[in-house]
Structure 1
Amino acid sequence: MSAWIKNIFGFILNQFKRLYPSYFQSNNLTKVFNYYYVPGLFATSGQPNVHQLNLIAESDYEVVINLAPTSILEGSIIDEKKILTSKGVIYVHIPVNFKKPLITNFDKFVENIKQNKNKKIWVHCAANMRVSAFVYKYRRDELGLEDKDINKDLKAIWTPNNTWQSFLNLE
């Protein structure tokens, strides 16, 4: 439950950061909401603000995959694609409904990871909850890693609810 509370308050704080960016600007990418680095794979996070999107591009990330639907309620940056592609970053948008994740979404995620496997990748959604679940499933189902070795990375962000436990076959 504490991870849920942390994510709710973090999401609200992230909205204030979008409204008052000059008070919250940092040139440290680890300050992006719910930042988590998956060793040997990619950086993950909640929704970066405009300043952070520019930092991601300036930090030589070549691909950004966004799993959040485009919605003000989700904290989306409406011009995210334009911001990133103008800096030469490949932008991939796979909108995943938090209440109903689909295996077709996951398949698109895997396809894009494989297409860009030799590139520096950043993956985000609104709060890193969709992402952490997709990364867990990718590492388990595609890379063959065991739950005991990767579960801590998922739990660092949240404990999946029933919908996501079912999606991840954790029941």
Structure 2
Amino acid sequence: MELASAPLLRGRGADFSVALQALVTSMNSTAVREAILVQSGFPLPGDMPAFLLLNQLIYRTVARPTDMADAIGTGRSNVSKIVRRLEVAGLVGRMPDPEDGRQSIVGLTAAGREVAERIVAVSSSAYDVIFEDWADTDFEQLEALVVRLVANIDDRLDHAIERTSGVRLPRPVSADSTSAV
């Protein structure tokens, strides 16, 4: 049997696609998630679903369990179990959804916010090391282009990124808005 050895990606953006895929895969890996869980002192050791749900609340502030289920890739009944574990730990609370009283929303408590701040600090410190030798203008240009890229992808995917991440990025005023960067 002969194995195919030619690269599958060619042409404009091939290196970009490979690099972006490598970055997303690496940063979304179990190893990276577990390291952040441990380094942040997450109070439910080893409970990755609870960690992921709390991470979603960092970006969303409050959310419906259904939205959380989609975001962390599990069913709504499982989200209810995860929310219960987080409630027992004092990290989240529930209340009726002000837009639809038949549903509930989940949000961080003061203790949950403290844990979330530790998670953000651990994640941010990794970026500080990565960009410590970058000029401010280089970082600002990268930041503007990444925000533009993700916003454009989100627009083309009917806001799938926003729905799954809870993050709404600012949209450039025009296609040329970052060309001066």
- Taking structure 1 as the reference length, the TM-score comes to 0.28
Q: Which has the higher helix share?
A: 2
> Relative contact order (alpha carbons < 8 A, sep ≥ 6): 1 or 2 greater?
1
Q: Which has the larger radius of gyration?
A: 2
